[in-house]
Structure formats: structure tokens, C-alpha cells
Amino acid sequence: MKATSSKRKVMGEMVHELIKEIKELKKEKDAVILVHNYQRPEIYEIADHIEDSLGLAKAATKSTAGTIVMCGVDFMAETAKILNPDKRVLLPDREANCPLALTISSKDVLELRDLHPRAAVMCYVNTMASVKAVSDYCCTSMNMVKIINSIPEDEIIFVPDQNMAAWAQEQTKKRIIPWKGGHCYVHAGFTPEAVMIAKKNHPNAKVVAHPECPLPVLKMSDYVTGTGGMIKFTQEDKAKEFIILTEAGMVHRLQQVVPNKTFYSMGKICMTQKKITLDKVRESLLKGRYEIKIPDDVLESAQVALDRMMEYS
């Protein structure tokens, strides 16, 4: 028992020293560290900003640092680069990708355009730069409906998340044309049966769901929003308990910013979000790993869709 306690103490001291070193390196390298809500709790300790995808995009454009270290997944780092083409953007693990973003290519989007020539194309921010480059608009889970209702066209191709497309169709009179087959494996894993059990176990808790969840789950929920909206809703709502239907790491973030309330996780984990570690962030700052490079033509085209997303932020 004593040996285990001593080991934990030593590990805690090592983590503390590593965090201290990273903070010093950050100043030395003129870097800002942006951290997504789904990251490991210890990564929060080195963050300059902890946000959802939209919040990270905003923070990237406001930063005066010459280097942006993105503790998230690849499309987030690409988004930061597109919005800040003159800055160096680093992703600490080159394999920290978003499986949802990889479900669609620019070729797929162009084929959808041919099938629906009168439709505008809206891509979710969870897409690669090449997909954004052939899209008319980009959105996040927070501003999706707002942007859809502002688009002149009555038909909108929505890629790549079919669950978000189904939710969007519930919120608008426009015709939403989904990309079939695209979904987030974490959110797609939530089922009505599991939610019913959670509600039975926590009868006083409100259910807050991410729009990447299946439509039957969303219809059972008390509130549907992105991770940034989850923070705002749980801060302002009178309820004291919440069942959170999104990646499990969000509960750590909610406990941090809303400490006077109780949050229940359904235990779904995004393994690629968890690839970022303190050691990898240190190596990224020391050695410039791994710098995001986007061809100029792709970057310029993708910037059009992202600029429209930022207009409605």
C-alpha cells in the first residue's frame, strides 16, 4: 500500500515538472496551446484556451503567437492553419485524426454536386481541408442551423455526418441532402435503450446530447448542442444533475467549469483525441513536430467556407 502511494507521489511530481517545462517552452518558442474539450485532464493544465471546435478557431485567429500547438485532432490543426496561413501550426501526434472526417473525400463531394446541381454544399468543420475547399459553407454543431437558414438555396448537401444531417432536417424547412455512411463512432454508439437506463438510474438528471448522436437519441434528450453549448446550458439551467451524451472527456471539463453540479458520462471514448500526451506536446515544442502543411490552392479555397463559418460564430 505504501509502495503504491509513493509511486503515485513520484508520478505526480514528474507530471508537475513536465507541465512546468512545457509552460516555459511555450514562452521560449512564442507558442500558444489550444486544447479541445475532449482532451486528457492533464492537458488542460498547459492550455491557453480550452474550447470546442468553434472556440478553438476563434482563439487561433485572435492569438498573436507565432506558433499554434493544437491539442486535438487533425482537422482542428488544419482549420487553425487555414485561418492563420502565416503561422506555424503543430499537431503533437501525426496519427491524431478524426475518423468522421476520413469518411468523405473531395471526390465524393464533387460527385454529390453533379447529382444535385442546384444544391449548396455545407460541410461540418469535422472535415479535411480538401473537403472544405470544394464546399460552399462550413459549420460547427453550434451554428449549423443558423447558417443553413441563411443560405439562399432551398436544397443543401450536408457532409459528412448523417446524424447531424437528420437533426438539421428537423430544424429547417429546407431540404437537407445527407452524405450516407458518415458518422462519429463515439456518438453513434449511444442508443435509446442505454439512455432510458441512464434516466432510470438518475431520474433527476437532464439529458444533454451532441447532435452527432442518432436522431432517436436526440429526440429523447432535454437539450441538443455542441460541447461549448453544453457548458453554457449546464451553467444556466436550474437542474443540478446532467447525463452527458458525448465523448467521455467532456465530463472532466464540465466538472472543472461547473463544479457545483453533477455530471454522468456514458463512457464513450474517442481514442484519437486521447493520443495527445504531455510528453508529445513537449517534443512538439522542442522539435517542431508535426507541422501542418496545406497546398496553397486548397488552403485558399477552404478559407472561403471557413470565413462564412466565422461570420456566424
pLDDT tens, N- to C-terminus, the chain (313 residues): 555 666 666 567 778 899 999 999 999 999 999 999 999 999 999 999 999 999 999 999 999 999 999 999 999 999 999 999 999 999 999 999 999 999 999 999 999 999 999 999 999 999 999 999 999 999 999 999 999 999 999 999 999 999 999 999 999 999 999 998 899 999 999 999 999 999 999 999 999 999 999 999 999 999 999 999 999 999 999 999 999 999 999 999 999 999 999 999 998 999 999 999 999 999 999 999 999 999 999 999 999 999 999 988 7
- Nearest residue to 250 (alpha-carbon basis) of 166, 202, 163, 187: 187
Domain ranges for the chain? 2-97+274-287, 101-182+295-311, 190-267
Amino acid letter, residue 70: M
Question: Are 101-182+295-311 and 190-267 equal in CATH topology?
Answer: yes
According to CATH, the topology of domain 190-267 is: Rossmann fold (3.40.50)
Q: What is the pTM of this model?
A: 0.94
According to CATH, the topology of domain 101-182+295-311 is: Rossmann fold (3.40.50)
Instruction: Give yes or no for a contact between 71 and 47, defined as CB atoms under 8 angstroms apart.
Output: yes
C-alpha cell at 65: 503567437
Q: Please, which residues bridge with residue 10 across strands? A: none
CATH of 2-97+274-287, one of 3.20.20.70, 3.40.1280.10, 3.60.21.10, 3.40.50.10800: 3.40.50.10800
First to last CA, the chain: 52
Count Cβ neighbours within 10 Å for each residue of 115-137 and write b for 16 or more, e otherwise: ebeebbbbbbbbbbbbbbbbbbb
Residues contacting 91, CB < 8 A, separation 6+: 70, 72, 73, 74, 77, 284, 290, 292
Instruction: Give yes or no for a contact between 74 and 96, defined as CB atoms under 8 angstroms apart.
Output: yes
